[in-house]
Amino acid sequence: MNYLDKTAKLVLYCEGEFGRGKSKTAEGILRYSDNPIVAVIDSTAAGRSTMEMVGIESPVPIVSSLKECLSLTPDALVLGTAKSGGHLPEEWRSDIVAALEQGLDVVSGLHDFLVDDPVINKAARQNNRRLLDVRRPPESLPIASGLARDVKAFTLLTVGSDASIGKMTVTLELCKEAERQGHKAKFIATGQTGIMVAGGEGIAIDRVIGDFMAGACEQMVVDAARDHDMIFVEGQGALAHPGFSGVTLALLHGACPDAMILCHNASRIGIGDCADFPLQRLARTIEAYEMMASLVHPSKVIGIALNTSKVDDAEAKRQIQDCERETNLPCNDAVRYGCQNLVEAILAFKEGSLCKQA
Amino acid sequence: MNYLDKTAKLVLYCEGEFGRGKSKTAEGILRYSDNPIVAVIDSTAAGRSTMEMVGIESPVPIVSSLKECLSLTPDALVLGTAKSGGHLPEEWRSDIVAALEQGLDVVSGLHDFLVDDPVINKAARQNNRRLLDVRRPPESLPIASGLARDVKAFTLLTVGSDASIGKMTVTLELCKEAERQGHKAKFIATGQTGIMVAGGEGIAIDRVIGDFMAGACEQMVVDAARDHDMIFVEGQGALAHPGFSGVTLALLHGACPDAMILCHNASRIGIGDCADFPLQRLARTIEAYEMMASLVHPSKVIGIALNTSKVDDAEAKRQIQDCERETNLPCNDAVRYGCQNLVEAILAFKEGSLCKQA
C-alpha cells in the first residue's frame, strides 16, 4: 500500500469516544506509531490528558475540533475508533470532508471503505488528498495449503481468551523485545490498527473473504520467513467468540505457529465482557488452541500475557501469580511490567524445538 | 435473490470437466434441482451417460456445445464446475457470451462475479438477460452473538473430516427424510450449489467477509426457526482443512447446532485426498467438533454419513460396519442406502433433548 511516510504528522479522530474501551485504534497508534502525533480530537475530553483518558503517558493534547490543532500542521487524520461492525457513522462524514478540505489525507480502518462513500471520495479528489483504507485486502489471495508449516523461521502467534484483549499490543512488545535481544524479528499485522502501526503493511484478516483468510496469513508468514528468523503474528478474536472464531482459526491454520502466547484479562466476566458467555477456564482455553493447532501443525501455548489495565498494582501482581500457579506457565503484563520472562520462554522453546529438528 | 423460477430449463456447463471430481455443482443440480435439465455440455464426454460419468441415473444427454441442445429450448446456462479459488477461467467467457446471445440467463457460483466481468456484463445487458451470481452475499450482515442458541427449532449441522465430501448431499437427504416423516424441516444452503438447489435461497458463507460469516449463518437459522421445527444446516469445509477451517468454525458457532452428523469418506488418504495431511482418527475428529461447539453451545456428533462412492457394494457395507464399530454411532451412505437410521438417531436425540429442556 502506498501509505503515509514516517514523518507524516497525525491527528487521531475519536470524537465522543476517546477512552471508554472504544478507541483501540487511537490507543495503539499513540503507543506504537513511529509517526509524530499532534493531537487527539474528542470534544467530550478536550483539555484532559491521554494518561487520564486511556492510561498512556504522552504530551499529545486532546482538542475539541480539527480547527484547534491546524496550527500544528497535521498531514493526516486517522479515524481512531471503530463502531462494532466497522460501519461509517453518518456524523463523521462532515468532519472527514473538512479534514480533506484542510489538506489532510484520511486513514481509516473501517469495514466500510472511505473511497466507496461518494461524498468523501469527491472531496478527496477535489482536494487532491488520499483516502487510505487500511482494511482493504489485496485483490488476489491464495487458498491456504499449510505452506507455513515448512518455513525455517520460528513463528509465534498470540491467541486470546476473548477479543479486544490486547493481542496486538502483546505481539508488538514481544517482537520489540526479541529485536532488542538481537533477533531478526518481524511483526505481522493482521488487523487495522496493527497495519497502521506497521506503516501500512499487513492484511486485515477479518475483512478478507472466508475462503482466503488463512491463505492471506500463510502468504505473509511465508514472505516474512525469507529474511527473518522470528515471526510474531498478531492474533485476532478468540476461538470462543461466537462472532469472530472463524477468523481466529483461519489465522491459526494459516500461520502454523510453532508456539502461542495466550492473552487474557482476568477481570472480564465473559466473552465481550458479557455474562451470557462465561470465559472458559484457562486450561480449557489452552487445550482448545492446542487441539485446533494439532489438526494442521502442532503448537503449544508457552506463556500467558495478562491484561491487568483494569486493576491496581497489587491486584495485578496477584493476578499474575495466580495465573502462573494455575497454568504452570510464565505470565506477565507486557505493557505494565515488560515481557522479558515471556520472551525468555519463547527463546528457550525455540532452541528446544530447533535441537529436536537437528 | 430474484432467481430462476422452477420451470426454467437448465443446461449444465461443464466443458472439459464433467466428472473427474470437478463438477460438484453440476452433480448436485442433477441430483436435487426441481428445475428440468435439458443437457450437460462437455465436448470431452459427449454421447456418454451421466451414470457413466458421475454415477447419477438420469436421461439428461451430454452434448458437445450449446448449439447442439438449443432445440431443447433451455432458459439458463448453469456453470457446473468450479476451479479452485473460484476464478472465472478465460476460456469460459466466449461460451458464456454465446449463451447470453442465444437468450439464456447465466447462473454462476464462482467467487469472481459475472456482473463484474465487463465483456459478460455488456453481453447480458445487450441481450436483456440475467447474470445470477449466487455466491454474492447480502449487502448487510450482522456480527454473530450466539442468538441461534436460543431458537426453539432443533438445529442439525453436517460437519466433515474433509472438504468436498458430500455434506450438502447428506444435508438434503436428511432434510427430505425428516419431511417425509412429517416434520416442518428446512434446508439451509451455505454454499453455491446448495443455493442453486434451494431456488436461490441461502448465503455462500465462504464468500462472506470474515467478521460476518457466523452472523450470516446465525441470521438464516434464526429466520428459519420462526416457522420450522427442524433445521438442517449445510456444513462447509472441515476443522482440519488448512484453507477452509475458519469457514467451518464460523458455521458451527453461527448455527449453534444441537447435534451434528459427521460426513466422512473412508477411502481418502488425507485432507483434499493429499497424503501430506493425513486424516485424523474419527474419534479425534468428533472430539474436535464437540470441543469447538462446547465453547459457544454444546453439541454432539450423533451419526456418521459415509461417502462410499469410490468403492463397490461389498466394500461399502464393510466400511459402514467398521465405522459403526469404531465410533459406536449409527452410520450410513445416504445416497447409496438411504439415511433412515441417521434420521431415527436425530429424532431420538431431539426427543431426548426436548425432554431435558422440559
pLDDT, tens digit, 9 for 90 and up, residues A141-181: 999 999 999 999 999 999 999 999 999 999 999 999 999 99
**Residue A352 touches partner B, C-beta closer than 8 Å:** no
Give A333's Cβ-side CA count (13 Å radius). 22
pLDDT at A358: 43
Both B88 and B166 in one domain: the answer is no
Q: What is the mean pLDDT of residues A118-125?
A: 98
B215 residue type, one letter: G
CA distance B207 to chain A (A): 5
Preferred mutation among B84, B162, B245 to probe A, highest tally of A CBs within 10 A = B245
Q: Is residue B315 part of a domain?
A: yes
Mark whether B194 and B280 lie in a shared domain. yes
- From the list B157, B146, B150, B170, the residue with the least C-alpha distance to B232 is B157
Extract the C-alpha cell encoding A133.
Answer: 483504507
Boundary of a domain, candidates A133, A164, A192: A133
Indicate whether B189 and B64 sit together in one domain. Answer: no
Alpha-helical runs (H) found in chain A? 24-32, 50-54, 93-101, 118-126, 167-180, 192-197, 213-225, 245-255, 282-294, 313-327, 334-337, 340-357
CATH code: domain of residue A15: 3.40.50.720
- Average pLDDT value for residue range A254-260: 98
The DSSP bridge partners found for residue A301 are A260
Q: Are A339 and A305 in contact (CB under 8 A)?
A: yes
Asked if residue A218 belongs to a domain, the reply is yes
pLDDT at residue A273 in the model:
80
A151 and A129 within one domain: no
pLDDT tens digits along B40-61: 999 999 999 999 999 999 999 9
Report the chain B residue with the minimal C-alpha distance to residue A279.
B295
3-state helix, strand, coil in chain A (%, to 5): 40, 15, 40
Question: Confidence class of residue A84 from pLDDT cuts 50, 70 and 90?
Answer: low
Tell me: do A155 and A178 sit in the same domain: yes
**pLDDT of B206 higher than 60:** yes
Place of cell 477411502: B267
Asked if the interface predicted TM-score (ipTM) of this complex is over 0.90, the answer is yes
> Per-residue pLDDT for B2 more than 90?
no
B48, part of any domain: yes
Residue of A nearest to B292 (CA): A288
Q: Can you give the pTM of this predicted structure?
A: 0.96
The answer to whether residues B112 and B190 belong to one domain is no
Please identify which residue in the block is written with the cell numbers 493481542. A167
For residues B171 and B190, give the distance between their C-alpha atoms in angstroms, rounded to a whole number.
11
Chain A residues whose beta carbon lies within 8 Å of the beta carbon of residue B279: none
**pLDDT for residue A354:** 66
Q: How confident is the model at residue A356 (pLDDT cuts 50, 70, 90)?
A: low
Is A209 in contact with B207 (Cβ distance < 8 A)? yes
Helix B282-294 vs helix B313-327: crossing angle, to nearest 10:
50
Q: Which alpha helices (DSSP H) does B201-266 contain, by range? A: 213-225, 245-255
SS3 B357: helix
Answer whether residue B64 is part of any domain. Answer: yes
Does B113 lie at the interface with A, CB-CB under 8 angstroms? no
**How confident is the prediction for chain A on average, in pLDDT?**
95
Indicate the residue among A84, A101, A133 that finishes a domain. A133
CB contact under 8 Å between A142 and B85, yes or no, is: yes
Do A151 and A102 share a structural domain? no
Residues in chain B within 8 Å Cβ distance of A136:
none
Q: Which chain B residues are closer than 8 Å to A241 by Cβ?
A: 253
Contact A239 B86 (CB under 8 A): no
- Of A133, A164, A182, the residue at which a domain comes to its end is A133
Q: What is the DSSP string of B22-61?
A: --HHHHHHHHH-SS-EEEEE-TTTTTS-HHHHHS----PP
Q: Are residues B30 and B53 in the same domain?
A: yes
Q: Tell me, what's the pLDDT at A276?
A: 87
Total domain count for chain A?
2
Q: Do the domain assignments include residue A142?
A: no
B135 min Cα distance to partner chain A (Å): 11
Shared-domain flag, residues A29 and A123: yes
- Among A229, A191, A228, which residue's Cα sits nearest to residue A213? A191
CATH of the domain at A200: 3.40.50.300
Whole-number pLDDT of residue B358: 43
B75 and B176 housed in the same domain: no
How far apart are alpha carbons A181 and A340 in whole angstroms?
Answer: 10
Is the per-residue pLDDT at B86 higher than 80? no
A196 touches chain B (CB under 8 A): no
Three-state SS at A239: coil
Distances (CA, A) of A168 to A266, A281, A338: 18, 22, 15
Q: A84 CB near a chain B CB, below 8 Å? A: yes
Distance from CA of B222 to the nearest CA of A (A): 15
Q: Per-residue DSSP letters for B262-319?
A: EEE-TT--BGGG-TTSBPPPHHHHHHHHHHHHHTTS--EEEEEEE--TTS-HHHHHHH
pLDDT digits (tens, 9 = 90+) for A16-62: 999 977 899 999 999 999 999 999 999 999 999 999 999 999 999 99
Residue B215 touches partner A, C-beta closer than 8 Å? yes
Residue A328 domain-assigned? yes
Q: Is residue A54 part of a domain?
A: yes
> Based on the domain organization, do A123 and A154 belong to the same domain?
no
Residue B203 contacts A, CB cutoff 8 Å: no
Inform me whether the C-beta atom of residue B242 falls under 8 Å from chain A C-beta atoms. Answer: yes
Measured between alpha carbons, how far is A133 from A136 in angstroms, rounded to an integer? Answer: 6
Inter-CA distances, B350 with A94, B222, B304, B346, B354, Å: 54, 18, 17, 6, 6
Of B145, B209, B288, the CB nearest to A243: B145
In Å, what is the CA distance from B225 to each residue of A270, B219, B230, B296? 27, 10, 8, 19
Q: Could you tell me the residue range of the domain that residue A151 belongs to?
A: 147-357
- B208-258: per-residue pLDDT in tens? 999 999 999 999 999 999 999 999 999 999 999 999 999 999 999 999 999
In chain A, which residues have their Cβ closer than 8 Å to the Cβ of B214?
242-246
